[in-house]
């Protein structure tokens, strides 16, 4: 008796049984047939009513869905390149006390939504895939998201939160989780993880080149496609994190050719980093560098580089970056309306930010347990202050629990490293993570999409790499 395949989209999908010559089929066949019929009916109904641009967007979405359904590997590559290289736009008519630029929707949000649907469709066919793989971060993530959701619903109930705005912000938090679990579920080998990291490094190089191209235009360098209201702190945080990842690979790679590639990429990214003029990012780079000194087996080399940097930075640092740093301590020297810390007067901008933090902490006592709700308090550009004012004491505890769990897991991955790649990713992630923790003092780092999407993808690699084998991934899972 011979068999033919009832359904194929370019890749073998486990769990689908075959039709025999008598025409008998399995129940699993119904699901993909229904999906295809629904897609075809939708296309037939909507395309005649759409503009050319909308029709092209629908076709592109269908192509992404088909590619994602056929191969999750392709879907993850699409997602990696779209993280920093996709445009964004403001959602119309949102309101909320915590908004500064409003709720933004980006192309990769839509791509992630399409990929998410294809992921669910594949799981409906293949019961073995599962929704959430068990990892050490599952409970901390769940606790924090649940508290964010509950505090926002309470805030909306008592009129502190605009429900639509709060919903969009909390939805962003769930977006990071989807990226993390998708990557964890489909990472099957270290060679696969290496390929994904190379894709991230290529994206990193493209972003750096785009940043360099902005320098002659004047002003501060921002991430690609952010428009006129770009945020340099966002690009600065991303560059700190990715420079650390690249540095970790540079310190551990046994290949001279790869070390040359990593070193060149670090130098390339350092140029736009200076021109972001982001003082928060400059601050983040310092503890990140000391993390390498503490954790690396090549401490002497790291120490030598640190000494060389201290000596050369005054000569290599662009004038605008030096002026940005000195401005913090000189602009408010002869003013009486600025904040003074340990005898040092800060500039008016930093002073205003510190005063905002003080007011926020005082207002936190009005709702100490669950806070004001996500977007229920006015804009505060500091992650920790924002967490406690929006989600209260419970939210801060859950957030810190997540951070500590992740730090412990990353350190465990480093301690059990079996090869240079695992060691490099782990040490680079730890340095970058600690840098972001300091970056979060003066920015909402852990809710910024362009930082968090790469961060959670690399987190998935770090969490799962100890259990990955060498070799190619199974073709069934793409």
User: What does the DSSP assignment read for 68-127?
Assistant: HHH-HHHHHHHHHHHTTSS-EEEPSS---TT-SS--EEEHHHHHHHHHHHHHHHHHHH-T
Predicted local distance difference test score (pLDDT) of residue 183:
87
The contacts of residue 353 (CB under 8 Å, 6+ apart) are 381, 382, 442
* pLDDT at residue 18 is higher than 50: no
Predicted local distance difference test score (pLDDT) of residue 349:
84
b/e burial code for range 383-419 (CB count within 10 A of at least 16 → b): bbbbbbbbbbebbbbbbeebbebbeebbeebbeebee
Structure tokens at 121: 């469709």
pLDDT band per the 50, 70, 90 thresholds, residue 476: very low
d(CA 188, CA 292): 28
Q: Which helix H or strand E contains 218, and what residues bound it?
A: none
Better-predicted residue by pLDDT, 194 or 130 = 194
Predicted local distance difference test score (pLDDT) of residue 367:
93
Considering only CA atoms, give the Rg of the chain: 24
Q: What are the tens digits of pLDDT across the range 313-344? A: 888 889 999 888 888 888 778 787 788 887 78
pLDDT band per the 50, 70, 90 thresholds, residue 298: confident
Name which of 59-63, 195-199, 414-418 the model is least confident about: 59-63
110 in a structural domain: no
Predicted local distance difference test score (pLDDT) of residue 467:
86
d(CA 143, CA 402): 9
- Highest-pLDDT range among 91-100, 229-238, 261-270: 261-270
Better-predicted residue by pLDDT, 30 or 273 = 273
Structure tokens at 166: 């709060």
Q: Which domain range does residue 255 map to?
A: 137-295+353-467
Predicted local distance difference test score (pLDDT) of residue 70:
63
* pLDDT at residue 477 is higher than 60: no
Predicted local distance difference test score (pLDDT) of residue 118:
65
Q: What are the tens digits of pLDDT across the range 417-465? A: 989 999 999 999 999 999 999 999 999 999 988 899 999 999 999 999 9
CB 183 within 8 A of CB 396: no
CB atoms within 10 A of CB 121: 17
Q: Give me the chain's average pLDDT, please.
A: 81
pTM of the model: 0.83
d(CA 131, CA 108): 21
Predicted local distance difference test score (pLDDT) of residue 46:
54
Per-residue CA distances from 6 to 16, 28, 41, 126 (Å): 8, 10, 21, 15
Tokens 């769940």 label which residue?
Answer: 142
Structure tokens at 330: 């000189």
**Percent of the chain predicted with pLDDT > 70:** 73
427 in a structural domain: yes
Predicted local distance difference test score (pLDDT) of residue 14:
39
pLDDT band per the 50, 70, 90 thresholds, residue 2: very low
d(CA 273, CA 208): 8
Q: Which helix H or strand E contains 472, and what residues bound it?
A: none
Sign of CA dihedral 54, 55, 56, 58: positive
* Count of domains forming the chain: 1
Residue 345: strand pairing partners: 340
Show the beta-strand stretches assigned E in 273-392.
340-341, 344-345
User: Residues 157-172: what's their mean pLDDT?
Assistant: 87
* pLDDT at residue 5 is higher than 50: no
Per-residue CA distances from 208 to 125, 201, 240, 243 (Å): 41, 10, 12, 11
Burial of 420: CB neighbours in 10 Å, binned 0-12, 13-18, 19+: middle
* pLDDT at residue 153 is higher than 90: yes
175 in a structural domain: yes
Predicted local distance difference test score (pLDDT) of residue 132:
66
347 in a structural domain: no
CB 184 within 8 A of CB 191: no
* pLDDT at residue 66 is higher than 80: no
Q: What are the tens digits of pLDDT across the range 378-398? A: 888 899 999 999 999 999 999
326 in a structural domain: no
Nearest residue to 284 via CA among 238, 347, 248: 238
For strand 104-106 and strand 344-345, is the pairing parallel, antiparallel, or unpaired?
Answer: unpaired
196 in a structural domain: yes
CB 122 within 8 A of CB 69: yes
Sign of CA dihedral 353, 396, 434, 451: negative
279 in a structural domain: yes
User: Residues 347-359: what's their mean pLDDT?
Assistant: 87
């Amino acid at each position: 008796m011979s068999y033919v395949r009832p359904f194929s989209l370019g890749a073998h999908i486990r769990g689908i049984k075959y039709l025999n010559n008598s025409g008998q089929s399995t129940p699993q066949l119904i699901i993909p047939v229904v999906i295809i019929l629904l897609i075809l009916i939708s296309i037939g109904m909507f395309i005649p009513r759409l503009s050319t641009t909308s029709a092209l967007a629908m076709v592109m979405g269908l192509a992404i869905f088909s590619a994602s359904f056929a191969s999750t590997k392709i879907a993850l590559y699409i997602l990696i390149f779209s993280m920093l290289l996709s445009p964004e736009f403001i959602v119309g008519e949102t309101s909320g006390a915590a908004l500064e630029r409003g709720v933004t929707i980006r192309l990769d949000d839509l791509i992630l939504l399409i990929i998410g649907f294809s992921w669910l469709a594949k799981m409906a066919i293949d019961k073995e895939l599962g929704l959430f793989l068990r990892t050490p971060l599952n409970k901390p993530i769940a606790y924090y998201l649940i508290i964010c959701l509950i505090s926002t619903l309470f805030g909306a109930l008592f009129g502190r939160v605009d429900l639509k705005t709060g919903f969009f912000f909390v939805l962003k938090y769930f977006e990071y989780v989807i990226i993390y679990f998708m990557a964890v579920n489909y990472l099957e080998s270290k060679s696969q993880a290496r390929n994904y990291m190379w894709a991230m490094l290529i994206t990193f190089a493209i972003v750096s080149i785009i940043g360099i191209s902005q320098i002659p235009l004047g002003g501060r360098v921002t991430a690609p496609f952010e428009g006129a209201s770009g945020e340099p702190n966002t690009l600065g945080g991303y560059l700190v994190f990715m420079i650390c990842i690249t540095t970790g690979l540079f310190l551990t790679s046994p290949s001279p050719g790869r070390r040359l590639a990593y070193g060149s990429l670090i130098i390339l990214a350092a140029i736009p980093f200076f021109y972001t003029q982001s003082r928060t990012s400059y601050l983040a780079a310092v503890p990140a560098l000391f993390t390498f000194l503490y954790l690396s087996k090549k401490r002497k080399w790291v120490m030598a580089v640190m000494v060389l940097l201290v000596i050369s930075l005054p000569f290599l640092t662009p004038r605008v970056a030096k002026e940005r740093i000195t401005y913090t301590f000189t602009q408010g020297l002869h003013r009486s309306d600025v904040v003074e810390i340990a005898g040092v007067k800060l500039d008016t901008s930093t002073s205003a930010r510190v005063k905002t933090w003080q007011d926020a902490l005082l207002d936190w006592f009005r709702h100490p347990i669950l806070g004001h709700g996500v977007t229920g308090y006015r804009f505060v550009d500091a992650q920790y202050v924002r967490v406690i004012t929006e989600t209260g004491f419970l939210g801060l505890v859950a957030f810190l629990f997540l951070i500590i769990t992740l730090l412990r897991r990353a350190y465990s991955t480093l301690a059990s490293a079996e090869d240079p790649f695992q060691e490099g990713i782990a040490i680079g992630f730890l340095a970058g993570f600690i840098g972001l923790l300091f970056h979060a003092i003066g920015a909402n780092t852990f809710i910024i999409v362009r930082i968090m999407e790469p961060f959670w993808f690399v987190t998935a690699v770090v969490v799962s790499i100890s259990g990955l084998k060498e070799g190619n991934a199974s073709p069934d899972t793409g």
